[in-house]
Structure 1
Amino acid sequence: MKTNVIELFKQKRPVVISGPCSAESEEQLLSTAKELADTGKVDILRAGIWKPRTRPGSFEGVGVEALGWMKKAKEETGLPISAEVAKFSHVFDALKHDVDVMWIGARTTVNPFSVQEIADALRGTDATVFVKNPLNPDIQLWTGAIERLQGAGITKIGLIHRGFAQHQKVKYRNEPKWQLAVEMKRRFPDMPMVCDPSHICGNRDLLQAVSQKALDLNMDGLMIESHINPEVALSDKDQQVTPSVLDQLLSDLVVRSTSVEDASFREKLDVLRSRIDMIDEDIMKLLGDRMKTSEEIGHVKNDEGITILQPNRWEEIIEKSLVKGGIHGLSEKFMKAYLKIIHQESIDHQNIVMNKAGNNVVK
């Protein structure tokens, strides 16, 4: 009998999903599962059955045989089990082996044809399905995957935030882009969202900080990879931790309340939020004034027959603003993002002005 996992998310926070990146052998999976169960902190066992690797030649999973090991682990530990599915046959095999939760991986979410195939395979079932964000930061693809499942009559749906692929090597294996996860929570407020720090980090040393950030953003669960002996893992060994290390990591997390009934607290918060609202209103008014001034500059440029973009002026603005932003406690990362979008809006306003004035300006 399958566990109602969605109900579990209503009872506990965070719900912890853990297990090896790949089910490599029956002994490895069962040993890991038993140690995870013994921590008393893991709610759902996970393992990769089919591993869609970026390039051929890497370990691509044991396949259907490993589902039998998962079912045995479920019987011996009492933990619900979860696995990734990427096509029709995967869904059939997972249902046959009483998998409690299926998840659609990032490489599959990016392909609407594959998502639709899975949705069609699930039609008429009472399955629980979680959807990982697509590899690229396209929130419409993520939303579309949810809508395809809903269109097939699936009602037990959750989200998994695992970060987004990037070309250059930076701190994280996959850039979190937390704002996209927050937007998905806004779009689907009744769906549980699980953060996958393992795939965001790609490095076990960063797991603690990312897990804490996810909880502070009010995510409902964590999916963290655990292996009985990560150093010999056949896939993603650097991001996996032993069950005992996971136990300590979870113990060190601070789980903050999502709401407080105390009237004094609410009053203080309301005062501060009112202040924020007034500041936001002032900012919008100033931005509106700034754009009106940009339009006036557009008229002057048009009269003189010069281009909208003036690179030297733009570089000057960036240099000065980064210094001023730092004085006011604003990070360089924020200032660059802010300046970029403000600059583009100014260009758009000037472009409209100069087009109306009759110039042949390329949009």
Structure 2
Amino acid sequence: MENKKELRTWLNKMELDHPLVIAGPCSAETEDQLLNIAHQLKDSDATVLRAGIWKPRTRPGNFEGVGALGLKWLQRAKEETGMKTTTEVANANHVDLAMEHDVDILWIGARTTVSPFIVQEIAEALRGTDKPVLIKNPVNPDLSLWLGAVERMYKADIPNLGVIHRGFSTYEKTRYRNNPEWQIPIDLQNRFPDLPLILDPSHIAGKRDIIFDLCQTALDLNFDGLMVETHHDPENAWSDAAQQITPDSLKQMTIDLRIRKQEGDEVEFRNRLSTQRTQIDVLDHKLIELLGKRMKISDEIGRLKRENNVAILQSRRWNEILGKMILEGEDHNLSEEFVLRIYKAIHQESINHQKKVVNEV
């Protein structure tokens, strides 16, 4: 992607002394609800009011948004509070309606990003606009698909772009609604450091009690902003009630978050060091998670060996693994000694797991 530095211009023009904060309800429900929330947010760090107008739900029968009527409510909220506005667009018709109602920032949702056909249709509808367009990561953990959506927008002469990290769907049960998979936005950030990166902690968390920790991790990783679902009465929200927080909670959170604003060589060093250490923390967490998954498979292998009266140690298989891992380690600048030590420890833990399974009564 050429002229990447142009991508940050729209964010710089906002002249904020803190990361960008986008807040508002998952869904616009009524005019009174949206205006109530907007007025509670106008004196906070949130400078952009978000609200879902069209709500694509995973299964039919749930509240799917009030439709174009809600765009008038957004306009009124903007007039009364001075906040900028943003909403999700999922097709060219949504784009046209949002533009007619002077929505300031448009975002493309995760379900839309997965389809290059729809993304291209939206890009054509937006061609040449100077409004910022934010692209959420696709539902599945595919960096190329995410970047492909960005590139389609850029090729449609849309200079003001950004991306939103909202986590990735998984069939596995985790503490998150959508796994953060931090390494994917880290890779995107390393490749395109001038592409504004915003966190959507609400969709990653799925519940409000871990939103703060997610936001802090994002800021430690040098994210440019946060999009937090905020509702004046979260428990009774018409959609995604469990993951929304109150405006007062948002205000307190932005006070408590550690945000580095100083300048200078020493501070720059500490900031960069903190960012890199957070990246290591993310990778270490992933390593432990992967090792845990590996040992679960070892348990299953132990059960198979017990049922078929097969010895735990299979020397030929073990030597094949070591040989392959040493070669792969060389490709990643890892010494043979290091790979041997790591895999001997993994192998021993695997044997311990299988012994326990084989000897179960």
What is the TM-score of this pair, normalised by structure 1? 0.72
Q: Counterpart in 1 of 2:107?
A: 103
Task: Please say if 1:145 is aligned against 2:152.
Answer: no
Instruction: State the SS of the aligned residue for 2:42.
Output: helix
Task: Please say if 1:13 is aligned against 2:55.
Answer: no
Residues 143 and 264 (structure 1), Cα distance of their counterparts in 2 relative to 1, 3 Å cut: closer
Instruction: State the SS of the aligned residue for 2:180.
Output: coil
Q: Which 4+ stretches in 1 moved above 4 angstroms?
A: 263-266, 311-315
Instruction: State the SS of the aligned residue for 1:102.
Output: strand
Q: How far does the alpha carbon of each residue in 1:216-259 deviate from its partner, in whole angstroms, 9 at most, with x for none?
A: 00001000000010111010000001101111111110102586
Instruction: State the SS of the aligned residue for 1:16.
Output: strand
Residues 170 and 262 (structure 1), Cα distance of their counterparts in 2 relative to 1, 3 Å cut: closer
Give 1:194 shift: 0.5
- Structure 1: distance between partners of 2:212 and 2:133: 26
Q: How far does the alpha carbon of each residue in 1:53-102 deviate from its partner, in whole angstroms, 9 at most, with x for none?
A: 00100100001000000000000000000000000000000000000000
The residue type paired with residue 258 of structure 2 is V
Task: Please say if 1:310 is aligned against 2:314.
Answer: no
Larger gyration radius, structure 1 or structure 2: 1
- Structure 1: distance between partners of 2:269 and 2:151: 38
Task: Please say if 1:35 is aligned against 2:34.
Answer: no
- Structure 1: distance between partners of 2:125 and 2:316: 53
Q: Counterpart in 1 of 2:138?
A: 134
Contact 2:26–2:240 (8 Å) recurs in 1 = yes
Instruction: State the SS of the aligned residue for 2:145.
Output: helix
Task: Please say if 1:240 is aligned against 2:244.
Answer: yes
Q: Counterpart in 1 of 2:209?
A: 205
Give 1:186 shift: 1.9
Gaps of 5+ in 1: 277-306, 316-334, 341-363
Q: Percent identity?
A: 52
Instruction: State the SS of the aligned residue for 1:158.
Output: strand
The residue type paired with residue 62 of structure 1 is V
Instruction: Indicate which of 62, 69, 73 corresponds to 1:65.
Output: 69
Contact 1:164–1:176 (8 Å) recurs in 2 = yes
The residue type paired with residue 123 of structure 1 is R
- Structure 2: distance between partners of 1:71 and 1:265: 43
Instruction: State the SS of the aligned residue for 1:170.
Output: coil
What is the TM-score of this pair, normalised by structure 2? 0.72
Task: Please say if 1:261 is aligned against 2:268.
Answer: no
- Structure 2: distance between partners of 1:8 and 1:242: 28
Instruction: Indicate which of 176, 181, 199 corresponds to 2:180.
Output: 176
Instruction: State the SS of the aligned residue for 1:81.
Output: strand
Instruction: State the SS of the aligned residue for 1:23.
Output: coil
The count of aligned residue pairs is 282
Instruction: State the SS of the aligned residue for 1:191.
Output: coil
Instruction: State the SS of the aligned residue for 2:265.
Output: coil
Contact 2:18–2:261 (8 Å) recurs in 1 = no
Give 1:190 shift: 1.3
Q: Counterpart in 2 of 1:26?
A: 31
The residue type paired with residue 63 of structure 1 is G
CA RMSD of aligned residues (A): 3.1
